[in-house]
Chain A
Amino acid sequence: MNIIRRELKANLKPFVFWTIGLFILSFAGMTKYLGIGAEGVDLNAISDRFPRVILALIGMTDADTRKLAGFYAVIAYFATVCVSLYSISLGFNAAARETVDKTYEFLFTKPKKRSRILSAKLGAALIFITLFNILNCVFPLAASSVLGYKENIIREVALFCAAAYLVSLLFFSLSVLLSVVASNAEKGARRGNVLFVFAYIMGVVCDTFENPGALRLFSPLRYFTSAELLSGRFSAPYSALCVLLIAACTLLAFRFFERKDLTAV
């Protein structure tokens, strides 16, 4: 408990900053829909003129932005990017922050098993990820209510947020594994970022095809597509894949961490 408490305290400030960012993204995004509706702008007509790759970059390939749910899908895409990046940073912090800050000689010479220390750190990070994902769900609904939108998007928001939660947990576990496996903590952080950029680019590549097929496997950001989620489908195979990958990465991370030489960066 002592480690969890310290981790919660240490990670509170970044959490507040990320939350402010998510709040701005959700409220500003949802407010845009109000403006577009008032001006009678047809975003679909505008977006049809753009090349598909540009739409893929901003997650607009299969969203009907004339409807609130479709418009929200675009915001949800960026929110997923946001929670994924936050999770990657939390994963790195949980697995490697002590070696980067050189405090490992303090913590890892205390009578606690390494696995228990890592569990406590991952547990604290998981609390923040879960809270962040709950807020990711609450903010658009609150914005919708505050802005007086008549359309009910509770189901869509719940599905998009559940998808974002799974994807963020996957990025989190990948980040933990990469940070643990890397001989040098900075290298681990770099690899986590490279992995996200790769996943993002692969997501764009997927979106440029009508049927990307197995390419989707390489981008967790496309495990749950807007088209599927807007039609109420939550991909069971990709959910299972996410859970499997999360479990495998976490187990491997613990295994490597148990035998890792802890040295300064």
Chain B
Amino acid sequence: MSAVIETKKLTKFYGKSRGIVDVDLSVNEGEIFGFIGPNGAGKSTAIRTLLGLIFKTSGEARIFGMDCERENERILQNVGYLPSEVFYYDRMKAIELLNYSASFYNKDCSKRIKELSAALELDLNKRVEDMSLGNKKKVGIVQGLLHSPRLIILDEPTSGLDPLMQKTFFELIRRENARGATVLFSSHILSEVQRICDRVAIIKDGRILETKRISELQENTYKKVSFTVKPEANVNDFSVPGGSKIEISGRSVSFIYKGDCNLLLSKIGKHPILNVDITEPSLEEIFMHYYEDGGRRE
């Protein structure tokens, strides 16, 4: 499978301030790739470097095998971008803005504009300045997709959309993906990434901590364990190799566990158990675990 996005040791500093450091990314053709990290982790910096809005300090960034700086114009012919915050020319109506956006591509986008606006229930004759944040976001989605791009880059795309519209949006993205589009989906809302992505890169302090398949992240690697002991028992000194984020509250213990399940059960079994719960942790919890580890994996 060929890589649509490929970065090698991509680094960006704003003067002395860190943006991203040694970012290695490889997004394959046809996949929905999640990019998760908290605000300030470097997600938008990486995206803006890929789009040529800002220039790298060092390293390499390629889209469709072309250099993001030297061949930016050719790359952008086939890229649709939805920024985290949408700002448009206020005095324009939505349809005027979308036609203006379409005028940059050598194709007739009028049918797509109608289809996408209908799907998102967007009033095309309304002025952008009179629109709510959610509706402005819809304009952003349509302008990002109207030219049927091969690569769709979404930076925190669902902010401002109500849950019903989020559902429609995800369906739209899946449809674009089924059409063959590759999607880079940046978010700090992990359930969103979990919902739609095939693989995910976790970024912290400008560095990629790990890139994994969503399923791998959730597969037996981590367990969320909680148990409660009988009143007479004492669990204040509970510990288990492979356990982290151990929280002891009275007679209840909860932690994230990675390791041999037999060892876990024998450790817990030493206590007079009243109740035990072993579940798959949510991506949020896995994610927090990464942060607390400072990214030191394996």
List, in ascending order, chain B residues with CB within 8 A of A108's CB. Answer: 52-53
Q: Distance in Å from the Cβ of B66 to the closest Cβ of chain A?
A: 12
Q: For the complex, what is the distance from the CA of A75 to the CA of B77, rounded to whole Å?
A: 51
B window 167-206: CB within 8 A of A: none
The reply to whether the CB of A231 lies closer than 8 angstroms to some CB of chain B is no
Q: Are A111 and B83 also in contact (CB < 8 A) when A10-B91, A103-B88, A261-B14 are?
A: no
- B73 touching A113 by the CB < 8 A rule? yes
Given the known inter-chain contacts A103-B89, A106-B143, A110-B76, please indicate yes or no for A2 contacting B104, CB distance below 8 A.
Answer: yes
- Does residue A109 face the partner (Cβ distance < 8 Å to B)? yes
CA distance A109 to B85 in the complex (A): 14
Q: State which residues 111-145 of A face B: CB under 8 Å.
A: 111-113
Contacts of B76 in A (CB 8 A): 109-112
Residues of B within 8 A of A255 (CB): none
CB neighbors of A among B15-62 (8 A): 48, 51-55
Tell me which residues across on chain A come within 8 A of B75, comparing CB atoms: 111
List of B residues within 8 angstroms of A106 by Cβ: 83, 87-88, 101, 143
Q: Is the CB of B87 within 8 A of A102?
A: yes
User: Residues of B contacting A32 with CB < 8 Å?
Assistant: none
Chain B residues near A259 (CB-CB < 8 A): 55
Is A105 a contact of B53 with CB atoms below 8 Å? Answer: yes
- CB contacts under 8 Å to B, within A1-38, are 2, 6, 10
- A111-B73 contact in complex given A102-B85, A262-B54, C-beta closer than 8 Å: yes
Question: Is A104 on the interface with B (CB-CB < 8 A)?
Answer: yes
Contact B73 A109 (CB under 8 A): no
Is B79 an interface position by the 8 A CB rule?
yes
The residues of B that contact A2 with a CB separation of less than 8 Å are 100, 103-104
Question: Within 8 Å CB of B51, what residues of A?
Answer: 109
Asked if A6 and B101 sit within 8 Å, CB to CB, the answer is no
Is B89 a contact partner of A263 (Cβ separation < 8 A)? no
B54 adjacent to A261 (CB under 8 Å): yes
Check A111/B74 contact, CB under 8 A, given A2-B104, A10-B89, A103-B89. yes
Residues of A contacting B74 with CB < 8 Å? 111
Q: Does A48 contact B (CB under 8 A)?
A: no
Q: Report the separation of the CA atoms of residues A200 and B63 in the bound assembly, to the nearest whole angstrom.
A: 50
* B143 partner residues in chain A, CB cutoff 8 A: 106
Number of A-B contacts (CB under 8 A): 57
Q: Which residues of chain A have C-beta atoms less than 8 A from B101's C-beta?
A: 106, 110
A residues 225-265 near B (Cβ < 8 Å) are 259, 261-263
Is the beta-carbon distance between A103 and B14 smaller than 8 angstroms? no
- Cβ of A101 < 8 Å from any Cβ of B? yes
Per-residue CB proximity of B125-154 to A under 8 Å, as 1/0? Answer: 000000000000000000100000000000
Known: A6-B89, A6-B100, A103-B87. A111 touches B53 (CB 8 A): no
The residue in B14, B48, B143 that gathers the most chain A C-beta atoms within 10 A of its C-beta is: B48
Distance between Cα atoms of A87 and B20 in the complex (Å): 39
Residues A262 and B53 in contact, CB atoms below 8 Å apart? yes
Q: Which residues of chain A (203-237) have a CB below 8 Å from chain B?
A: none
* Cα(A262)–Cα(B85), bound, Å: 15
- Which of A101, A104, A108, A109: most chain B CB closer than 10 A? A109
Bound together, the chains give a CA A106 to CA B128 distance in angstroms of: 14
Nearest-CB residue, chain B, relative to A106: B88
Q: How far is the CB of B84 from chain A (nearest CB, A)?
A: 9
- Complex Cα distance, B51 from A112, in Å, reads 12
Q: Nearest residue in B to A113 (C-beta to C-beta)?
A: B73
User: A104, B53: Cβ atoms under 8 Å?
Assistant: yes
Interface string of B83-115 (1 = CB under 8 A from A): 101011101000000001101110000000000
Alpha-carbon separation in the docked complex, A197 to B53 (Å): 33
Q: Which residues of chain B in 236-257 are interfacial with respect to chain A, using CB atoms and an 8 Å cutoff?
A: none
| A residues less than 8 Å from B77 (CB atoms) | 111
Q: Which residues of A contact B (CB under 8 A)?
A: 2, 6, 10, 101-106, 108-113, 259, 261-263
Closest 3 CB pairs of A and B: A102-B87, A110-B104, A111-B76
Instruction: Enumerate 30 A-B pairs (CB-CB under 8 Å) in ascending A order.
Output: A2-B100, A2-B104, A6-B89, A6-B100, A10-B89, A10-B91, A101-B89, A102-B85, A102-B87, A103-B87, A105-B53, A105-B83, A106-B83, A106-B87, A106-B88, A106-B143, A109-B51, A109-B76, A109-B81, A111-B73, A111-B74, A111-B76, A111-B105, A112-B73, A112-B76, A113-B72, A259-B55, A261-B54, A262-B54, A263-B53
- Identify 16 new A-B residue pairs, CB closer than 8 A, beyond the known A2-B103, A2-B104, A10-B89: A2-B100, A6-B100, A101-B89, A102-B87, A106-B83, A106-B87, A108-B52, A110-B76, A110-B104, A111-B73, A111-B77, A111-B105, A112-B73, A113-B72, A113-B73, A261-B55
